[in-house]
Amino acid sequence: DQQVKQNSPSLSVQEGRISILNCDYTNSMFDYFLWYKKYPAEGPTFLISISSIKDKNEDGRFTVFLNKSAKHLSLHIVPSQPGDSAVYFCAAIEPGTYKYIFGTGTRLKVLA
Amino acid sequence: DSGVTQTPKHLITATGQRVTLRCSPRSGDLSVYWYQQSLDQGLQFLIQYYNGEERAKGNILERFSAQQFPDLHSELNLSSLELGDSALYFCASNMGSSSYNEQFFGPGTRLTVL
């Protein structure tokens, strides 16, 4: 059973517009979430994180929003750039462990 | 470049065989994590080592084993390989002092079982 779900396998956005990537989770005990970006033939790289005590965290063009009641988080990229084209993974840390639970990823394509 | 190295980059082998994947963590990192990514799947956590000791275990098959050596590099051993073991295997590392430390991933080893 997938505890972290990314229901959109792919997303296309025009350069300069906003990209919104979504992630849902089932375990209300998750208290820390991360987004990773992955280019082909490379390992995932950390992008941004958020603790469950916050509902928003911002880093430059990237903002993550957390809605605990809906068990939903989203990553906003504004403005989107062609170099943002990659697969984005959402992950949650299983409480009391060091395990990351990853979603299946969303492939973002930013069109020039 | 994350500072995490993995060898080999690609591995092609036959069913029933055994292979060893190697990972060197970033300098200063004590913790190593192994993940498996099958086609269209997310990264599945396999196992974590911290300073030579197993710390956390995920859905790792009994045919798979891992260890972390005194120099902190780690090896993932996969035996009695099956077609379904074909996947990307990633290693990640961090200080390991807190579960909230971000993990730094290597480039992965692509295993193909024929």
Least confident stretch, A81-85, B8-12, B100-104, B108-112:
B100-104
- The Cα B106–Cα B99 span in angstroms is 19
Give the gap in angstroms from C-alpha A34 to the nearest C-alpha of chain B: 8
Q: Is B103 on the interface with A (CB under 8 A)?
A: yes
* pLDDT confidence of residue A97: 80
What confidence tens digit (pLDDT) does each residue in A58-94 have? Answer: 999 999 999 999 999 999 999 999 999 999 999 999 8
Backbone angles phi, psi at A92, to 5 degrees: -125, 150
Q: Is B51 on the interface with A (CB under 8 A)?
A: no
Cβ within 8 Å of residue B1, ≥6 positions away? none
- The Cα B22–Cα B66 span in angstroms is 10
CB pairs under 8 A between A and B: 64
Average pLDDT on B37-52 reads 90
Q: Is B74 on the interface with A (CB under 8 A)?
A: no
Chain B residues with CB under 8 Å of A36 CB are 105
Reference B50, options B28, B72, B35; nearest CA is B72
What confidence tens digit (pLDDT) does each residue in B69-99 have? Answer: 999 999 999 999 999 999 999 999 998 877 7
